[in-house]
Amino acid sequence: MSETNQIWTVAGSEPAPIGVVGAGIMGAGIAQVAAQAGHAVKLLDVREGAAAAAIASIAKALDGLVLKGRMEAGTREAVLARLSPATATAELADAALVIEVIVEKLEPKQALLRELDALLAPGAIIATNTSSISVTALANGMKNPARLVGMHFFNPVPLMKLVEVVWGAETEPGVAQAIYELAKRWGKTPVHAKSTPGFIVNRIARPYYAETLALLLEQAGTPAELDRALRGAGFRMGPCELMDLIGHDTNYLVTQSVYEANFGDKRYMPSLVQKALVDGGRLGRKVGKGFYEGVPAAPVDAAVEGVELPPISVVGRGALVERLADWLAHKGLSFSRGESADWAGLQLGELQLHLTMGHSAAELAHQRKHPELGVMDWPVAPDRADALALAFAPQASEAARAQVAALWRRLGWQPLVLRDVPGLAVARTVAMLVNEGADAVWQGVCDEQGADLAMKLGVNYPAGPFEWLALLGAPMVATLLDGLFIAYRSERYRVSPLLQQQRWRTASY
């Protein structure tokens, strides 16, 4: 029997026995999911009583399911009967799979993995739930490194669908595939990932925080304004409130680890804003203060009564222009079309409101010798947005600004007037998420579908990077990034080769 065939018994009709080492928050969740899928699970922890406490917490969780009518009382008993605490590693010898879920440190993990490698039958798989350590490094020192694979669950394990199946340099493809199939049997959605810093989710998500932190450093807007802008693009939580929830200490550590693991690549550089929060103990919700302390004050709306709208023209082409036109029509506003212009956005009387392409309004006004000019953020979800960011050139008149505010109200949006920074909020964030996803695929970390699934299931994004790319097109994303690259003279905004290729492929001759 080949090792891979033996491994299949893990997910076969008679689920094979499993060991889980580390009975903390993640270990308990993994043990619960495995036992619910029919496996006998032995749970081991160095802390005395931790495994028994984890089983007691699982019993409580199952009680909740029974109470809500989502589980039969008999099933609860059967699941609990499959769970038992172990007191020594030797008791896991008959397991077909052992999942390592201990403290996130290289040395203790390596020591445990070597011990398991020496103990388990040759066909057994060893998985690690590490969230940031290289699977390749963890396998170093094992006699059979081919059987180690990452099985990265998300918290809370029973609810979160995503499992990143992470293969290191030595992982046998059959081992990764067996764990992929097993995760599916457990009701999860697995995606394959190459072991690189942050795997898929923790890597592609970096710009969601980083761009907002960069905007805060530049005083482009307040946390409440930037959160509102991003929620307007369909994200469930804005970056600041999300960082408050995750905890700035945790988020800062992940950022630092990805930055250092990439040898100081500026793209992943942590922010002074984040460091100041950590240094000052403003760690977020768990201590009652972070970006927010209590409930943020509601924004004060400028008065727009009595402002008459000038003639409106929807200018240019592309998916966002169409979304804008549809939304204007939906709101009963009449407008003309100006498709042949060399820019895209809205014309309101004399005022040109350009969809941002990574240039400040001041720069565009200067280049075009047209002082009545502003830039607007990308309306990727106009129907869901209650706010959309914009910025004006310094010479734009008060009357034109008031007209935009009045139009925004008619469109159901709060006018979020930011400092005149290139790329505003949604555009630069979405473009950088797309770019990071593109680089992950270009470097063989995952495929396009895996990137989309991971971001939607792992962090609840409203769309995956490649879905946004399909909407916006590579030329638009790459042009915006070029604008940021030039504005900041920063390698951070370098365009992924994958986007460059698509951009030239879609360019018309």
Among 56, 78, 103, 106, binds ligand NAD (CB under 6 A): 103
Instruction: State which residue, 37 or 92, has the beta carbon closest to ligand NAD.
Output: 92
Q: Torsion angle of alpha carbons 324, 327, 331, 336, nearest 10°? A: 40
- The residue at minimum Cβ distance from ligand NAD is 24
Site map (CB under 6 A) of ligand NAD, residues 119-138, x = contact:
----------xxx-------
The two structure tokens encoding residue 62: 């199952």
Work out which of 20, 31, 62, 112 binds ligand NAD, going by CB under 6 A.
112
Which span (40-48, 214-222, 291-299, 449-457) binds ligand NAD, by CB under 6 A?
40-48
CA dihedral of 72, 74, 79, 80, whole degrees rounded to 10: 120
Q: Which is nearer to ligand NAD, 75 or 250 (CB)?
A: 250
Contacts of 287 (CB under 8 A, 6+ apart): 281
Amino acid in position 356: T
* 96: nearest Cα among 6, 27, 36: 6
Count the residues in the chain: 509
Q: What is the closest distance, in whole angstroms, from the C-beta atom of residue 134 to ligand NAD in the complex?
A: 13
Residue list 82-101, contact with ligand NAD (CB under 6 A): 101
3-class DSSP state of 495: coil
Catalytic residue chosen out of the listed positions 3, 100, 152, 467: 152
Q: Contact with ligand NAD (CB under 6 A): which of 46, 121, 169, 329? A: 46
Least distance from ligand NAD to the Cβ atom of residue 16, Å: 21
Q: Which of 202, 251, 360, 496 is catalytic?
A: 202
Per-residue string for binding with ligand NAD, 49-88, x by CB under 6 A?
A: -x--------------------------------------
Q: Do 479 and 354 touch, CB atoms closer than 8 A?
A: no
For the bound state, the minimum distance from the C-beta of residue 100 to ligand NAD, rounded and expressed in Å, comes to 8
Position 25 contacts ligand NAD (CB under 6 A): yes
Q: Which of 3, 39, 129, 131 is catalytic?
A: 131
Q: Which helix (H) or strand (E) holds 362?
A: helix 361-368
State which of residues 27, 168, 422, 465 lies at the interface with ligand NAD (CB under 6 A): 27
Q: Would you call 129 a catalytic residue per the annotation?
A: no
Tell me if 362 sits within 8 A of 371, measured CB to CB: no
Nearer to ligand NAD, 133 or 404 (CB): 133
DSSP letter for 302, please: P
Name the token pair of 303. 């008065």
C-alpha distances in Å from residue 72, one per residue of 32, 36, 392, 401: 15, 12, 61, 61
> Is the Cβ of residue 23 or residue 58 nearer to ligand NAD in the bound state?
23
**Residue of the chain from 59, 80, 84, 108 that contacts ligand NAD (CB under 6 A):** 108
Strand pairing of 18-21 and 83-86?
A: unpaired
Token pair for 176: 């990764």
Pick between residue 155 and residue 219 the one whose CB is nearest to ligand NAD: 155
Alpha helices in 201-360 (DSSP H): 201-204, 206-217, 223-231, 239-246, 248-261, 272-279, 319-330
Q: Can you give 312-348 as a three-state secondary structure string? A: EEEECCCHHHHHHHHHHHHCCCCCEEECCCCCCEEEE
Residue ranges binding ligand NAD (CB under 6 A): 21-27, 44-47, 50, 101-104, 108, 112, 129-131, 153-155
Residues with catalytic annotation? 131, 152, 164, 202
